[in-house]
Amino acid sequence: MHYFGRFDEGALTRHPIFDGHCDGYTHAPLVDHATGSVHTGLSMNELAPGGSIDPHVHSFEKGFYILNGDVVFTVNGSSYQLGPGDFAAVKVGTPHAFYASGHTPVRWLQMAAPQPRPAGAEPDTFFLKDRAVPTQAAKLDLKNLNGNLLGHFDVDQIPPPSERKGGLQGLEGVFLKWMIDENFGAMHHRFLFIEYQPGVSIAPHDHTFEEAYFILSGEVEGTLDGKWYRAQAGDVLWTSVGCVHTFVNTSKEPVRWLETFSPQPPKENVFRFVAEWQKRARELEGAS
């Protein structure tokens, strides 16, 4: 099973769970139960200038990456001024709040795992009695995080292909930045940044976890469950457990996307490449 769609700014609407607990906040689901997913809650979120989201906690984990705008993000009683390229993970039960501190809307891609329950189901978001939302904070200092899970990564930090080390064999033209994972402190998901150079491809394979992909720039051809797609900036793709998929950059420019995993991958056998298992089957069965 898989899904291919596109982010539509017109889909940004109020979030019913946050009614009475926010000002100027809208969101648009990208991947959830309605698209066939079981584990992934991917969404686009926007907060108008001067808007806020009251302090709250979730019974799920979430990670987010700031695409545009400036926001004061408060977590565990500490506040940080975040901007494009900043990211954070919020562990289960961790109090946090947002205030849009710039003159333009702040927009972020958000991943939630386990998948949040839909409106009307048992609640999994809860609001604090103290509704005060800090409106000022110092710019994010990665040397002073107070134990909170925050970071920064943007395209200026991508090394040239000739300087990349430690990549997968045959995928030297792929750049991968693990932003949020178990080493970062997350328990339920991964959030990563990927770039494919022109001509780079990955062989057909599947996983024991769901993946979601939000294209930031460039174009990539994807084949999911045998169906071909051309994805470009603003498109979103999702592959379920067992969905055989492959990607290739046939353009003349790099393609970049944000990708999520949920649940976190196992310690072994993360990739199941079709060709490798076909070869092994021939060896085991003695077929020519």
Instruction: Give pLDDT tens digits for 21-62.
Output: 999 999 999 999 999 999 999 999 999 999 999 999 999 999
| Predicted local confidence at residue 216, as pLDDT | 98
Which residue would you say has higher pLDDT here, 77 or 269?
A: 77
| CA distance linking residue 108 with residue 102, whole number of Å | 14
| Predicted local confidence at residue 269, as pLDDT | 80
Of all residues in the chain, the percent with pLDDT exceeding 70 is: 97
Domains defined for the chain, CATH in brackets:
9-152 (2.60.120.10), 156-285 (2.60.120.10)
| CA distance linking residue 229 with residue 223, whole number of Å | 6
The per-residue pLDDT for range 98-143, each reduced to its tens digit, is: 999 999 999 999 999 999 998 889 999 999 999 999 999 999 999 9
How confident is the prediction for the chain on average, in pLDDT?
94
The per-residue pLDDT for range 157-189, each reduced to its tens digit, is: 998 877 776 555 556 789 999 999 999 999 999
